[in-house]
Amino acid sequence: MENKIAVITGATTGIGRATSILFCAEGANVVVVGRREDEGKETVRLAERGKGKAIFIKTDVSQATQVEEMVTKTINTFGKIDILFNNAGVNPEPARKTLTECPEETWDQVMEVNLKGVYLVSKYVIPHMIKNKGGSIINMGSCYGHAGVKNRCVYSASKGGVITLTKSMAIDYAHDNIRVNCISPAIIETDIAKNIMDEARRNPEIWKEIITNKIPMDKPGQPVEVAYAVLFLASDESSFITGTSLNVDGGYTAQ
């Protein structure tokens, strides 16, 4: 990872922040991409404790103009892009309903960020990877994209789209030495999930419902555990792997 340039979207907290910190520790230079400036700058501060450099570029990945400007700034700063981690995603409360209950504007919001965001950022990054004669793209899927899940129709649909998009991208750009893979986590203990996890640890019934009954390893994943999987797919150590979805889910999808 020494001196490689990595763009990480949704990097202001959680898995994106953990990956930014890990990449910089391994010697990469990281572009922290997200909508929240204060959190993004904190990610930069934490990441720069490592060997690599980090910068924050405020970007909404669902907006083509902002994405194009972010990629241009990255190239002007670092001269190339070796790695792209399409991590940005949303799962708002109104989306946690059946299809008929999910508001149309919520459907559009989730698809705009989770699926269109992957399309847009990849669209503007790939030409620079081709010019650089290769690269590695890792898209954020989900175990919910592999199977139907109750009251998660829009989120599952968006992540199922990401998983299939990953396979098509891998085929399209294999001859350009660009590898495209996908990470599919289960329940990860990010900042957003912290309150739920804290409550579950105090209540055995809640823990059983959301963890034991779903995760054979009987625990939630940690952001850094996903980050290490991303690191593997980003590095040359996975040089013959493309078009795959790596499940980081404690056995969720093995059931």
Measured torsion, CA atoms of residues 50, 28, 79, 86, in degrees rounded to the nearest 10? -110
User: Which of these is catalytic: 124, 144, 155, 252?
Assistant: 155
Give me the sign of the Cα torsion angle 130, 136, 142, 147.
Answer: positive
User: Where are the strands (E) in the chain, listed by range?
Assistant: 5-9, 29-34, 54-58, 83-86, 135-140, 178-185, 245-248
Q: Quick check: is 228 catalytic?
A: no
Residues 71, 93: Cα–Cα separation, whole Å = 31
Inter-residue contact 66 to 59 (CB < 8 Å): yes
Q: What is the separation, in whole angstroms, between the first and last Cα of the chain?
A: 35
Residues 124, 67: Cα–Cα separation, whole Å = 7
Burial class (CB in 10 A: 0-12, 13-18, 19+), 97: middle
Residues 80, 197: Cα–Cα separation, whole Å = 40
- Could you give the angle at which helices 117-131 and 64-78 cross, rounded to 10 degrees? 30
Q: Name the residues annotated as catalytic.
A: 155
